[in-house]
Structure 1
Amino acid sequence: MPGENLTRLEAQERRAVVDTQSYAITLDLNRGAEVFGSRTVVRFTATEGASTFIDLIARDVREITLNGRSIDPAVAFADSRIALDGLAATNELVVDADGVYTNTGEGLHRFVDPVDGEVYLYSQFEVPDSRRVFAVFEQPDLKAEFQFTVTAPAAWKVISNSPTPQPEPGDDGTATWTFEPTPRISSYITALVAGPYEATYSELTSASGRVIPLGVFARKSLWQHLDADYVFEKTRQGFAYYEEKFSYPYPFAKYDQMFVPEFNAGAMENAGAVTFTETYVFRSKVTDAVRERRVVTILHELAHMWFGDLVTMKWWNDLWLNESFAEWASTIATAEATEWTAAWTTFNAMEKTWAYRQDQLPSTHPVVAEINDLEDVQVNFDGITYAKGGSVLKQLAAWVGVEAFFAGVSAYFAKHEFGNTELTDLLVELEATSGRELTAWSKKWLETAGVNTLSPAITEGSDGTISRFAVVQTAPADYPTIRPHRLGIGFYNLDGSSLVRTHHVELDVDGDLTEVPDLVGQKRPDLVLLNDDDLAYAKIRLDERSLQTAIDHLSKISDPLARSLVWGAAWDQTRDAEASASDYVDLVLRNIGSETESTTVRTTLAQLQLAANAYVAPEKREITRIKVADALWDLALEAPSGSDSQLQFATAFAAAAA
């Protein structure tokens, strides 16, 4: 019995038989605290005489009618499926059922605010949970128009994918909202949010000339803490950036953003109706790292309106591409369109650190994972899907060139609007705009696991100049793939009180050894930084002289991204037992007080604790812990009162002293 699972083969077989046109979904939210009424009218074409099934998870199914023919629910409904036999060329299916509210963040979640007793509802349908609210062909490549009619308490606000209509008053304090149909979208990005939410509204003018209504929502008891004007500001900046870079106007009628309780993830990209965790409603002081992350999340979900919602994967094996593209796009948009100009530094310190860690665990897997059924999807929602995928897309953009990358993406949106695609569809457009062949690149980067290590091999002449410079690439024994990389190499030299970049080259690195003749004849610098500008996804090594320069002078580099790369390289060498943990502790304690990037500070302080507690030689750990705690206390006292750094140092001290 299938239970609640669905295999890829079943989805392919169903797609070969069925093509969906529209859903008319009527929901009654006045049925009490446990159930709601759900009536679905589905119109679809099919291979005449064929059989298939539609998905539904419900407490009770009262009526099933196919083309006017009544079907016994007791016979047809089992294991989250309704069997459909004897299909016509054109079909109308009616399903009347009782859905069940959840408190687990799936389907239609119901929350009672402990502050004031108010009831709030919101949907969460990714991956397979719209079937908990209405009967649906639950797979991303069966797109359709969705029209919702919702009856709820008249005092509530009701939000869906289409603009909220004026409600029709009913009896006993109820009202009915009849929404316009959506464009053709996948079921997992449909949405329903209902309750006495507070809201504020604004608008913007799209590149197409359309006026796009905007809304920001939160529950009453949190409303005073929500800085909605700031959310609108970042939204406008994101709209302008994406519409220009994608050369495609915003594809939906409005854009609402709702901060909802007990949300399981950071956010969800429902078309025109994005939901966010309430963690992003700040009720007390938070670090700059958290504030920046909220901006990246806002722009991540906005990017999905094009990549994921307008153009959607055929099956869940390309979920990584949805998330990776949104992660890459939101980071570049944050860096180029908002005040958070060091967003790529944050990406390096957080996303890439996460990716490198995940990619060295026994549980690592290729970015393009084999997704044979819905259960496989849940296993692969991880740091490889998001962080490594985003890092690899950044490398892909560098490999083909950022302008060619955006041009390819624009062509992809225009060609496949409101349709479904596979990875190869995007690669075809990128090959056309860049002239690069990407089949071999994709196989090495996306179909194999593991992270490469890049090290400098430097021969220095008697006069202090470089007589030979090469990049050595290695791979772990379990994942021995040697990959092509586009990367920079930076030379940094001490100049008074600064450690400045004095030379930079960018090149393709491929194979076990890549000679770099452009660096021959240069004076050997104080610090050599492979992957300067952080284009590549690879661990990098610092030679002995560069590591000592970093320990003594890292804080003198003005570029926060270069500092983050050095922090990361030193940590990787420590973690891999190629550098002393005591040296890493010294590096951090000498330089962290001058670090300006909040996420870099947070990541480095966490690694400092791990080095002191687990990597330093056992006989030195106690004295090292005391040394670290004392230094963190001093740093907290020296930091400006109430500053982000003081909060981080004080928090780290509390952890070290515990």
Structure 2
Amino acid sequence: MTQSHTITRDEAQLRAAMLDVHTYRLDIDVTDANVFRVQAVITFSAAESAVGGSTFIDLLEHDVYSAELNGHTVEYDGSRLRLEPLQLDNELIVSSTAEYSSTGEGLHRYIDPFDEAEYLYSQCEPADARRIFPVFEQPDLKATFALGVTAPSYWTVLSNEPGTHVLDGEVAHWTFDATPVMSSYLFALIAGEYTEVATGSSKSRVPLGLWARKSMAVYVGAEDILDITRSGFAFYEHQFGVVYPFSKYDQIFVPEFNAGAMENVGAVTITEDYIFRSAVPAAMVQRRAITILHELAHMWFGNLVTMRWWDDLWLNESFAEFVSHLAAVDAGFADAWTTFNATEKTWAYRQDQLATTHPVIADMVDLDAVAVNFDGITYAKGAAVLRQLVAWVGTEHFMAGVRNYFTEYAWANTTFGDLLRPLEDASGRELSSWAEEWLHTTGVNTLSWQRDGDEVIITQSSPVRKHRVVVGFYDVVDGKLTRTSSVAIDLQEKTTCLPADDAALMLVNDEDLTYAKLRPDAASLQVLTERLSDVDDSLARSLLWGTAWDLTRDGEASAAWFLELILTHVASETDSSVVFSLLRQATTALKYFVPTEHASATRQHFAHGLWQLAEDAVSGSDVELQLVQAFIRHTRSESKVSELADGHGLAGFSVSTDMAWSAIQRLVALGVVGEADIEAAHAEDDSSTGYLAAVQARAMIPTAAAKAETWQRITGGDLTNLELRHMVMGFADVHDHELLAGYVDEYFNRIEDLWAASSFETAETFALGLFPLWASTEETASRTMTVASSTRYRGLQRILTELHDDVRRALTAQSAF
């Protein structure tokens, strides 16, 4: 399945001016294992000025058997049906078939390797409804959807609205209630042998359903998920002043999902990564809760009121991300903003320092631009900027403006200006200048500070913005670094002076209200190095950890210093998300920020330190689990990994099946075990998880022949999205990069052809997963930019430009080692 014809913003604006779309009546037959059949009847009206003219409707890679507009045959070119001549009132009838997707885009089909049960689900954002049925594929042409589905009699079928079915021999005919008006990217069709894990209702009596495939249902933590869902319903209905606007709320865990979750109206699809069949860090449990709350927030932000075009994608994502953390605090996750700082803001800072950074309100000229902008700016920076906005106007004023926004624009499409006005009315503040500073510019400010006697001088880098910050002063109290005083201040100039307490540690942006990197004074940096774990506030510690990582990424401190900082303080860290983020950053530092001649010794020292910390950790603790997981990633020593692979760990430590797989994979990469051992492990764990673990393990076999075979399979085009992803991860996971040296030329010679022949999700996996970042040299940087500057594919150009930045950053960091 190749990448699709794009749709431009200009085309969408013209089409929106011409048309009002009324109804989609869809009958979809999924009884054939090879193709699905669609009968679509679409009614729409045209503006008087458009009568007699032409437009188009989108349909991607279908076999069209008949297509008639008002009784006249229309032409199809593989991506569009030409609609002409238009009448005031129009009816389009199309009959077609298409193959199921194996890439997670459109209507995806999955066969469970455990029991061969079949599962389908749709994924339409941003513009993949057109892979399923003919559609005016843009957010502002909302319509109602009436769906009928013919499926095997033993399947469950779910959609946006409740449905009923009648049996007809070995098939069932399902009919679903018509939806309210909604955008096409929110369409949902989920079908197969899904099991209803749990049901319930919200406080406002909205029916709740929880679904998973048969082989995974036993591992779903149903009560935890329903509890967080109910909490979210209560919080949002109270804060937004609008009851849940749809008739039901199903959450369905689906296999081979590309994203964390998707906010389809009334039928949210969620990655199976959030089904935990063994112990996971508390960070993952909290991330699942925030994801659940994020998708629920979309029922208002995005589904009830929708952006007009993808320029305002952030109106969906940033708002959902921001309010989901508010809701998480309300649900009992007291340190949710610590998690936000450690994970989301780190993502945003990285994205905003790339050559491809863009304003929060982005210039989405076409769908190609949209596809690559589901990024750290759209989600994380936007949410961080909203946190700063709330610091300026106050939570109550912010929520009052949001309530007025929902009331005024329910079921409509908007731009940011439509939200800005009620926020200004509620707060009494002029916000257009704030919006210009924060939403229409790029880049992250750096706030640095120096002490000068009894004053502190705070300097911000360009472009100068208004920052509402808290400056915290920390001193030793009962052996801990405790905030003894603070001051709230507005930073509106390049330099700001204020009186400074004679404290051991000073922290600008304490409470993390603004969006900025931090550069402490020398005394504070020394205290950070020596006593970071003594800081008694988790958010303050996260800010300091983030500062240490920024210094390392920017080449202002060595990776050796950062790795030693982790070994010194991580075992005392109480916030699971901070530990999770730090150990991922350690992986990046070890892989790319350490010069080749020091890599082996540095990794060995770090892995040995991790094991020592794990031995001293509280048995069964979250930090012990994460330290052992990180040890398996980094060690090159056989003995302890072999014990873990056999299910034996530290005293009192339970080695899960998933951890045993990680240990087996490491032994494969070491060349200690091979195909027979992989096959034996797979025989013991014949689940879908075990299948993918075996796929990844086979790709890790450290021989030239095995790597050549893996490369052929990766580039052969017959893998599903998750098979491909795991195989790529295994291929790249080597202890001796000489095994991959020959594939540098392969990558640069073939990446453009691989991109052209693939869907976006597959192409992105190729471009990112196979890139030789381990070979961070001037030559790699040059070759990367050569391809980036010559390719005609916008998405590939952006990814390669960002990878070039990563190579340059790695070289800078290595020079500081």
Give the TM-score, by structure 2 length. Answer: 0.75
Give the residue type in structure 2 aligned to 1:449.
T
DSSP 3-state at the match of 1:26: strand
**1:550 and 1:587 in contact (8 A); partners too:** no
Choose which of 569, 588, 591 in structure 1 pairs with 2:547.
Answer: 569
**2:203 and 2:230 in contact (8 A); partners too:** no
What are the superposed Cα offsets for residues 378-400 of structure 1, whole Å, 9 maximum, x if unpaired?
12122222222221222222222
**2:62 and 2:131 in contact (8 A); partners too:** no
Q: Choose 502-511 or 578-587, whichever is displaced more.
A: 578-587
Distance (whole Å) between structure 1 residues aligned to residue 285 and residue 188 of structure 2: 26
Q: In 2 relative to 1, CA 136–206 (structure 1 residues): closer, same or farther, beyond 3 Å?
A: farther
Matches within 5 A, 1:323-334: 323-334=317-328
Instruction: State the partner residue of 2:653.
Output: none
Instruction: State the partner residue of 1:77.
Output: 76
Instruction: State the partner residue of 2:621.
Output: 643
Distance (whole Å) between structure 2 residues aligned to residue 12 and residue 487 of structure 1: 41
- Please report how far the alpha carbon of residue 624 of structure 1 lies from its aligned counterpart in structure 2 after TM superposition: 4.9
- Please report how far the alpha carbon of residue 620 of structure 1 lies from its aligned counterpart in structure 2 after TM superposition: 7.2
Instruction: State the partner residue of 2:461.
Output: 474
Choose which of 511, 514, 538 in structure 2 pairs with 1:536.
Answer: 514
Matches within 5 A, 1:19-30: 19-30=20-31
Q: Choose 363-372 or 619-628, whichever is displaced more.
A: 619-628
Instruction: State the partner residue of 1:654.
Output: 632
**1:206 and 1:249 in contact (8 A); partners too:** no
Instruction: State the partner residue of 2:738.
Output: none
What are the superposed Cα offsets for residues 602-653 of structure 1, whole Å, 9 maximum, x if unpaired?
2223334555676578887766545433321111001122321112112222
What are the superposed Cα offsets for residues 25-83 of structure 1, whole Å, 9 maximum, x if unpaired?
111112x222122111112111233321111124322222323x231x5xx11141111
**1:22 and 1:44 in contact (8 A); partners too:** yes
Q: Give the CA RMSD over aligned residues.
A: 2.0
**2:566 and 2:582 in contact (8 A); partners too:** yes
Choose which of 396, 412, 415 in structure 1 pairs with 2:389.
Answer: 396
Distance (whole Å) between structure 2 residues aligned to residue 118 and residue 614 of structure 1: 42
**2:69 and 2:84 in contact (8 A); partners too:** no
Instruction: State the partner residue of 2:279.
Output: 285
Give the residue type in structure 1 aligned to 2:571.
G
Matches within 5 A, 1:549-628: 549-579=527-557, 581-611=559-589, 624-628=602-606
Choose which of 298, 312, 326 in structure 2 pairs with 1:318.
Answer: 312
What are the superposed Cα offsets for residues 541-574 of structure 1, whole Å, 9 maximum, x if unpaired?
1111111222222222221101101111122223
Q: In 2 relative to 1, CA 194–267 (structure 1 residues): closer, same or farther, beyond 3 Å?
A: same
DSSP 3-state at the match of 1:78: coil
Give the TM-score, by structure 1 length. Answer: 0.92
Instruction: State the partner residue of 2:485.
Output: 503
Choose which of 356, 363, 373 in structure 1 pairs with 2:356.
Answer: 363
**1:17 and 1:50 in contact (8 A); partners too:** no
The structure that is strand-richer by fraction is 1
- Please report how far the alpha carbon of residue 422 of structure 1 lies from its aligned counterpart in structure 2 after TM superposition: 0.6
Instruction: State the partner residue of 2:215.
Output: 221
Instruction: State the partner residue of 1:463.
Output: none
Instruction: State the partner residue of 1:454.
Output: 447
Q: In 2 relative to 1, CA 626–65 (structure 1 residues): closer, same or farther, beyond 3 Å?
A: closer
**1:454 and 1:540 in contact (8 A); partners too:** yes
What are the superposed Cα offsets for residues 247-285 of structure 1, whole Å, 9 maximum, x if unpaired?
111010000000011111111100000001111111222
Q: In 2 relative to 1, CA 581–264 (structure 1 residues): closer, same or farther, beyond 3 Å?
A: closer
What are the superposed Cα offsets for residues 320-342 of structure 1, whole Å, 9 maximum, x if unpaired?
2211111111112112223x221
Distance (whole Å) between structure 2 residues aligned to residue 616 and residue 82 of structure 1: 54
What are the superposed Cα offsets for residues 385-433 of structure 1, whole Å, 9 maximum, x if unpaired?
2222221222222222222111111111111101100111111111111
Give the residue type in structure 1 aligned to 2:467.
H
Distance (whole Å) between structure 1 residues aligned to residue 598 and residue 504 of structure 2: 30
Q: How many matched pairs?
A: 631
- Please report how far the alpha carbon of residue 657 of structure 1 lies from its aligned counterpart in structure 2 after TM superposition: 2.5
Check if 1:135 corresponds to 2:113: no
Give the residue type in structure 2 aligned to 1:511.
E
Instruction: State the partner residue of 2:166.
Output: 168
Distance (whole Å) between structure 2 residues aligned to residue 297 and residue 37 of structure 1: 33
Distance (whole Å) between structure 2 residues aligned to residue 266 and residue 612 of structure 1: 27
Give the residue type in structure 2 aligned to 1:412.
Y
Distance (whole Å) between structure 1 residues aligned to residue 603 and residue 126 of structure 2: 45
Give the residue type in structure 2 aligned to 1:189.
L
Choose which of 51, 64, 81 in structure 1 pairs with 2:67.
Answer: 64
- Please report how far the alpha carbon of residue 3 of structure 1 lies from its aligned counterpart in structure 2 after TM superposition: 6.0
Instruction: State the partner residue of 2:610.
Output: 632
Give the residue type in structure 2 aligned to 1:123.
S
Q: In 2 relative to 1, CA 60–608 (structure 1 residues): closer, same or farther, beyond 3 Å?
A: closer
Matches within 5 A, 1:76-115: 76-115=75-114
Distance (whole Å) between structure 2 residues aligned to residue 499 and residue 615 of structure 1: 31
- Please report how far the alpha carbon of residue 155 of structure 1 lies from its aligned counterpart in structure 2 after TM superposition: 1.1
Q: Choose 398-407 or 123-132, whichever is displaced more.
A: 398-407
Matches within 5 A, 1:248-327: 248-327=242-321
Q: In 2 relative to 1, CA 268–617 (structure 1 residues): closer, same or farther, beyond 3 Å?
A: closer
Q: In 2 relative to 1, CA 561–52 (structure 1 residues): closer, same or farther, beyond 3 Å?
A: same
The structure that is helix-richer by fraction is 2
Matches within 5 A, 1:382-421: 382-421=375-414
Distance (whole Å) between structure 2 residues aligned to residue 64 and residue 610 of structure 1: 53
Aligned-residue identity in percent: 50
Distance (whole Å) between structure 2 residues aligned to residue 568 and residue 164 of structure 1: 49
Q: Choose 156-165 or 574-583, whichever is displaced more.
A: 574-583
**2:24 and 2:41 in contact (8 A); partners too:** yes
Distance (whole Å) between structure 1 residues aligned to residue 593 and residue 630 of structure 2: 18
Give the residue type in structure 1 aligned to 2:235.
Y
Q: Choose 142-151 or 45-54, whichever is displaced more.
A: 45-54
Instruction: State the partner residue of 2:184.
Output: 187
Q: In 2 relative to 1, CA 626–101 (structure 1 residues): closer, same or farther, beyond 3 Å?
A: closer
Distance (whole Å) between structure 2 residues aligned to residue 586 and residue 205 of structure 1: 48
Distance (whole Å) between structure 2 residues aligned to residue 627 and residue 104 of structure 1: 40
Distance (whole Å) between structure 2 residues aligned to residue 607 and residue 107 of structure 1: 34
What are the superposed Cα offsets for residues 58-115 of structure 1, whole Å, 9 maximum, x if unpaired?
4322222323x231x5xx1114111111222122222122232111111111111111
What are the superposed Cα offsets for residues 278-313 of structure 1, whole Å, 9 maximum, x if unpaired?
111112221111111111111110010100110101
Q: Choose 144-153 or 81-90, whichever is displaced more.
A: 81-90
DSSP 3-state at the match of 2:426: helix
Check if 1:426 corresponds to 2:419: yes
Instruction: State the partner residue of 1:203.
Output: 200
Give the residue type in structure 1 aligned to 2:161.
S
DSSP 3-state at the match of 1:221: coil
Q: Choose 257-266 or 605-614, whichever is displaced more.
A: 605-614
Q: In 2 relative to 1, CA 3–576 (structure 1 residues): closer, same or farther, beyond 3 Å?
A: closer
Distance (whole Å) between structure 1 residues aligned to residue 508 and residue 180 of structure 2: 47
**1:201 and 1:213 in contact (8 A); partners too:** no
Instruction: State the partner residue of 1:42.
Output: 42
**1:350 and 1:599 in contact (8 A); partners too:** yes
Distance (whole Å) between structure 2 residues aligned to residue 3 and residue 573 of structure 1: 41
Distance (whole Å) between structure 1 residues aligned to residue 183 and residue 43 of structure 2: 15
Distance (whole Å) between structure 1 residues aligned to residue 94 and residue 596 of structure 2: 66
**1:162 and 1:254 in contact (8 A); partners too:** yes
**1:542 and 1:570 in contact (8 A); partners too:** no
Q: In 2 relative to 1, CA 614–80 (structure 1 residues): closer, same or farther, beyond 3 Å?
A: closer
**1:313 and 1:319 in contact (8 A); partners too:** yes
